[in-house]
Amino acid sequence: MEQLIPVNIVVADRAYRIKIRPEEEEDVRRIMKEVNEKIVEFKAAFAGKDIQDYIAMALIMYATHPVTSGGKAQASVAPFLSEKLQHLENLLSEGLK
Protein backbone atom coordinates (compact mmCIF):
# COMPACT_ATOMS: atom_id res chain seq x y z
CA MET A 1 0.00 0.00 0.00
CA GLU A 2 1.24 3.43 -0.92
CA GLN A 3 2.19 5.66 2.02
CA LEU A 4 0.29 8.96 1.95
CA ILE A 5 0.75 11.87 4.31
CA PRO A 6 -1.92 14.40 5.25
CA VAL A 7 -1.18 18.04 4.42
CA ASN A 8 -3.22 21.20 4.66
CA ILE A 9 -3.27 23.38 1.59
CA VAL A 10 -4.77 26.84 1.48
CA VAL A 11 -6.70 28.22 -1.47
CA ALA A 12 -7.87 31.81 -1.14
CA ASP A 13 -7.58 31.80 2.65
CA ARG A 14 -9.49 28.54 3.01
CA ALA A 15 -7.76 25.36 4.20
CA TYR A 16 -8.24 21.94 2.66
CA ARG A 17 -6.78 18.71 4.02
CA ILE A 18 -5.48 16.32 1.37
CA LYS A 19 -3.32 13.21 1.34
CA ILE A 20 -0.28 13.05 -0.90
CA ARG A 21 2.88 11.04 -1.37
CA PRO A 22 5.75 12.46 0.73
CA GLU A 23 7.89 13.12 -2.35
CA GLU A 24 5.13 15.35 -3.80
CA GLU A 25 4.84 17.67 -0.82
CA GLU A 26 7.36 20.28 -1.95
CA ASP A 27 5.85 20.49 -5.44
CA VAL A 28 2.28 20.65 -4.13
CA ARG A 29 3.12 23.47 -1.72
CA ARG A 30 4.93 25.40 -4.48
CA ILE A 31 2.02 24.93 -6.87
CA MET A 32 -0.52 26.06 -4.29
CA LYS A 33 1.60 29.14 -3.57
CA GLU A 34 1.56 29.97 -7.28
CA VAL A 35 -2.21 29.40 -7.50
CA ASN A 36 -2.79 31.75 -4.57
CA GLU A 37 -0.53 34.37 -6.17
CA LYS A 38 -2.62 34.12 -9.36
CA ILE A 39 -5.80 34.57 -7.33
CA VAL A 40 -4.37 37.80 -5.92
CA GLU A 41 -3.40 38.95 -9.43
CA PHE A 42 -6.90 38.25 -10.75
CA LYS A 43 -8.46 40.08 -7.80
CA ALA A 44 -6.40 43.15 -8.70
CA ALA A 45 -7.19 42.90 -12.42
CA PHE A 46 -10.91 42.08 -12.17
CA ALA A 47 -12.29 44.00 -9.22
CA GLY A 48 -15.79 43.26 -8.00
CA LYS A 49 -15.97 39.58 -8.86
CA ASP A 50 -16.77 36.78 -6.40
CA ILE A 51 -13.86 34.92 -4.77
CA GLN A 52 -14.94 31.71 -6.50
CA ASP A 53 -14.51 33.47 -9.85
CA TYR A 54 -10.90 34.29 -8.97
CA ILE A 55 -10.26 30.73 -7.77
CA ALA A 56 -11.74 29.28 -10.94
CA MET A 57 -9.74 31.63 -13.18
CA ALA A 58 -6.49 30.82 -11.38
CA LEU A 59 -7.04 27.06 -11.36
CA ILE A 60 -8.17 26.97 -14.98
CA MET A 61 -5.16 29.05 -16.02
CA TYR A 62 -2.84 26.79 -14.08
CA ALA A 63 -4.42 23.55 -15.31
CA THR A 64 -4.29 24.66 -18.95
CA HIS A 65 -0.73 26.00 -18.78
CA PRO A 66 1.14 23.48 -16.59
CA VAL A 67 4.48 23.95 -18.37
CA THR A 68 4.71 27.59 -17.31
CA SER A 69 5.01 26.64 -13.66
CA GLY A 70 7.66 24.12 -12.87
CA GLY A 71 8.97 22.20 -15.85
CA LYS A 72 10.04 18.63 -15.04
CA ALA A 73 8.68 18.62 -11.49
CA GLN A 74 5.35 19.89 -12.79
CA ALA A 75 5.07 17.06 -15.32
CA SER A 76 5.22 14.44 -12.57
CA VAL A 77 2.59 16.26 -10.49
CA ALA A 78 0.21 17.07 -13.36
CA PRO A 79 -2.02 13.97 -13.06
CA PHE A 80 -2.12 14.37 -9.28
CA LEU A 81 -2.90 18.07 -9.59
CA SER A 82 -5.72 17.44 -12.06
CA GLU A 83 -7.34 15.04 -9.62
CA LYS A 84 -7.01 17.47 -6.71
CA LEU A 85 -8.24 20.41 -8.79
CA GLN A 86 -11.34 18.41 -9.69
CA HIS A 87 -11.86 17.61 -6.01
CA LEU A 88 -11.53 21.30 -5.07
CA GLU A 89 -13.91 22.27 -7.85
CA ASN A 90 -16.45 19.75 -6.56
CA LEU A 91 -16.10 21.10 -3.01
CA LEU A 92 -16.62 24.66 -4.24
CA SER A 93 -19.66 23.63 -6.29
CA GLU A 94 -21.20 21.84 -3.30
CA GLY A 95 -20.62 24.91 -1.14
CA LEU A 96 -22.76 27.03 -3.48
CA LYS A 97 -25.80 24.77 -3.22
Please tell me whether the overall predicted TM-score, pTM, comes out greater than 0.85 for this model.
no
Report yes or no: 27 and 9 within 8 Å, Cβ to Cβ: no
Residues in the chain: 97
Give the chain's domain count. 1
Q: What is the pLDDT along the chain (97 residues), one digit of tens a residue?
A: 679 999 999 988 899 999 999 999 999 999 889 889 989 999 999 887 788 888 888 888 877 776 555 544 445 556 666 777 777 777 777 765 5
Report yes or no: 17 and 48 within 8 Å, Cβ to Cβ: no
Q: What range defines the domain where residue 55 resides?
A: 5-96
Report yes or no: 19 and 4 within 8 Å, Cβ to Cβ: yes
Other Cβ atoms within 10 Å of 76 Cβ, number: 13
Torsion angles phi and psi, residue 13, rounded to 5? 65, 20
Report yes or no: 55 and 11 within 8 Å, Cβ to Cβ: yes
